Amino acid sequence: MHSRPWYQWLALGGGSGLLPILPGTMGTIAAIPLYLLLVLVVQNNVVYTLVLVTMITLGPWLCGQTAREMQNGGSGKRVLDPPAIVWDEWAGLLLTLWLVPFGWWTLLVGFLLFRFFDMLKPWPISWLDKHIHGGTGIMLDDIAAAIPALILLRLMLWAGWL
């Protein structure tokens, strides 16, 4: 087995995206330790926000480069958003939980809401997924899925349901 460049390791979520079953869900689960590190150890919203902005900013290049190399080194079949690339899920989960008070139920509901919108892809997420390609497209549909997940999570907290 050959070693991968650092950016592929990041794009593949430390290898979590290479798992054969539900790579997006497994990649999102693999992002939870980073989230816990940020909210339970670092405990600084500015640092959390800087990590999130860095992930979103770096994501289009990271995901795009990795997708191109996976196509060139693989079967030759063109896959616009390879399932193994889960950096976008990592950023999506962090955005879903951005500035939300920590709680285990909040984490679980945020995770489920993000996966719901990411997998179902209601409009306009589905439009973005179909029309924006490359690294930007890989990132954009997950960022778009995180926004309604974040809004619903905040509404649930506001309503006292969590």
Q: Assess if residue 43 is contained within a domain.
A: yes
Number of domains in the chain: 1
Cα 53 from Cα 134, distance rounded (Å): 19
Predicted confidence at residue 80, as pLDDT, reads: 73
Q: Assess if residue 1 is contained within a domain.
A: no
The tens digit of pLDDT for each residue in 109-139 reads 999 999 999 999 999 999 999 999 999 999 9
Which pTM does this prediction carry?
0.94
Q: Assess if residue 121 is contained within a domain.
A: yes
Least Cα distance to 26 among 12, 39, 37 occurs for: 12
Please list the helix, strand and coil fractions of the chain in percent, rounded to the nearest 5, in that order.
75, 0, 25
Q: Assess if residue 93 is contained within a domain.
A: yes
Q: Assess if residue 14 is contained within a domain.
A: yes
List the structure tokens of 67: 């997708």
The tens digit of pLDDT for each residue in 8-62 reads 999 999 999 999 999 999 999 999 999 999 999 999 999 999 999 999 999 999 9
Q: Work out the average pLDDT over 64-84.
A: 78
Structure-token match 């770096």, residue found: 58
146 close to 154: Cβ distance less than 8 angstroms: no
Least Cα distance to 82 among 8, 3, 4, 6 occurs for: 8
First-to-last CA distance in the chain? 45
Asked if omega into 124 is within 30° of 0 (cis), the reply is yes
- How many helices and strands in the chain, by DSSP H and E? 7, 0
DSSP 131-159: H--HHHHHHHHHHHHHHHHHHHHHHHHHT
Give the residue numbers spanning the domain of 131. 6-158
- Residue 3, pLDDT > 90, answer no
**3-state class of 126 per DSSP?**
helix
